[in-house]
Amino acid sequence: MVVTLVTRDAARLEFPCASGQDVLGAAEAAGLYPPAMCHEGSCGMCQARVVEGAYEMGPHTESAMPAGPGGVLLCRCLPQGDVTIELPCTDAQVGRHKIPVREAEIEAMAQAGAGAVALTLRLRPDAELGLAVDFIPGQYMELTILGTETRRAYSLANLPNWEGRLDFIIRLQPGGAFSSWLGERAAVGDVLNVRGPLGHFVLDESSPRPRCLVGGGCGMAPLLSMLRHMADFQDSQPVHLIYGANREDELLPAEELDALRAALPQLGVTLSVWRPGPGWTGFSGTSADALDAYLATAAETPDIYVCGPPRMMEAVMSTAQRRGVPEAQIFAERVQS
């Protein structure tokens, strides 16, 4: 059987697929790596659409499936003959190299606002790959707890470096598998498998427009990495950060923002709190409300980078659209939680 993947920019990628083999496995065997994570039909990262040919779906989580006719998860799609499948990404977003898997040790864990942990990992030396941590700010890594099947995506908060350092900000989800391990059992020196970098949520550095970065819940890490990158390169593009939390104590420690403001003098910041206490003097409302207020007075329509849980993302996207921000100027990373 032959599978043809058609990317958003009309590239056609053909490869063989054996009977009983899933499309993702066949693609990877042919040296093609479309966006994917769990490989077990639950994360929804490998969503695609069959436009021609017969197929069956293996066991999967229904909420991970794309809506509409032909919607499939590549990791659970079993072709029954030749199939043609549309991918929601461009040709450049289909990897051509196996993503490296490394071991890393927990070097530090600290509180990062109420209910969140700042986790620092250090790569173990590797004869071939050395200690380089090479990624584009905004990308994420897949962390697997050794000896378990628990594998989750977390965005990097720091910058590429030669010292093997990986920083994450992880919001603990009550009852969550990774969250429970991190909050209750993890200790300095524990080892994790780290696979990445992955993802395409990165700055469009060719755009001359101002940038507006909108984060909520657990979506701050990639935005921090982008801002640190701008500071590192003394990028003078106008930039505004909107960060929303439910309560004041969930906001990032003030020192983080002070350091960014000092390094990026043009940075504007709106901290929005949905349910503030009586002493709160900042913006009261959701990050979508704060974006609405910002766009109402913005001199130029900015590029918008938004990262957070699904409901917050939907509210932010509809505010941006209502205020006339073209779809091509909205870059989004949905962090499931």
Ligand X SMILES: Cc1cc2nc3c(=O)[nH]c(=O)nc-3n(C[C@H](O)[C@H](O)[C@H](O)COP(=O)(O)OP(=O)(O)OC[C@H]3O[C@@H](n4cnc5c(N)ncnc54)[C@H](O)[C@@H]3O)c2cc1C
Crossing angle of helices 221-232 and 254-263, in 10° steps, is: 30
Residue 305 interacting with ligand X (CB under 6 A): no
171 binds, among ligand FES, ligand X, none (CB under 5 to 8 A by kind): ligand X
Tokens 């913006």, residue located: 283
* Alpha-carbon span 139 to 198, nearest angstrom: 6
Q: How many residues bind ligand X (CB under 6 A)?
A: 23
Least separation in angstroms between residue 100's CB and ligand FES is 18
Residue ranges in 215-234 that form contacts with ligand X under rule CB under 6 A: 218, 221
Task: Of 318, 329, 274, 266, give the one whose Cα is nearest residue 292.
Answer: 318
* Alpha-carbon span 94 to 107, nearest angstrom: 33
Can you say how many angstroms the Cα of residue 296 is from the centroid of all Cα atoms in its chain? 28
Per-residue DSSP letter, 252: P
Q: Between 33 and 62, how does the x/- string for binding to ligand FES read (CB under 6 A)?
A: ---xxxx-xxxxxx----------------
The DSSP bridge partners found for residue 120 are: 108, 167
Q: Between 111 and 140, how does the x/- string for binding to ligand X read (CB under 6 A)?
A: -----------------------------x
228 binds, among ligand FES, ligand X, none (CB under 5 to 8 A by kind): none
Residue 152 neighbours by CB under 8 Å, 6+ apart: 142, 143, 177, 178
Least separation in angstroms between residue 36's CB and ligand FES is 4
Give whole-number Cα distances, 207 to 92, 154, 180, 203, 303, in Å: 18, 26, 41, 9, 8
Least separation in angstroms between residue 178's CB and ligand FES is 15
Residue 173 interacting with ligand X (CB under 6 A): yes
Residue ranges in 307-336 that form contacts with ligand X under rule CB under 6 A: 333, 335-336
Residue 291 interacting with ligand FES (CB under 6 A): no
Residue 64 interacting with ligand FES (CB under 6 A): yes
170 binds, among ligand FES, ligand X, none (CB under 5 to 8 A by kind): ligand X
295 binds, among ligand FES, ligand X, none (CB under 5 to 8 A by kind): none
50 binds, among ligand FES, ligand X, none (CB under 5 to 8 A by kind): none
143 binds, among ligand FES, ligand X, none (CB under 5 to 8 A by kind): none
Query: CB neighbours (10 Å) of residue 275?
Result: 11
Residue 145 interacting with ligand FES (CB under 6 A): no
Least separation in angstroms between residue 92's CB and ligand FES is 20
Three-state DSSP at 166 gives strand
Pairing of strands 2-6, 83-86: parallel
218 binds, among ligand FES, ligand X, none (CB under 5 to 8 A by kind): ligand X
Token pair listed for 210: 């101002």
Least separation in angstroms between residue 225's CB and ligand X is 10
The DSSP bridge partners found for residue 6 are: 12, 86
- CB-wise, 216 or 276, nearer to ligand X? 216
Give the CA-trace dihedral at 328, 216, 253, 258, to 10 degrees. Answer: 20
Pairing of strands 303-308, 211-216: parallel
Residue 322 neighbours by CB under 8 Å, 6+ apart: 292
Token pair listed for 141: 């890594």
Residue 75 interacting with ligand FES (CB under 6 A): yes
Token pair listed for 233: 């390169």
Least separation in angstroms between residue 99's CB and ligand FES is 13
Residue 171 interacting with ligand X (CB under 6 A): yes
List residues binding ligand X (CB under 6 A).
Answer: 140, 152-155, 168-171, 173-179, 199, 218, 221, 333, 335-337
List residues binding ligand FES (CB under 6 A).
Answer: 36-39, 41-46, 64, 73, 75
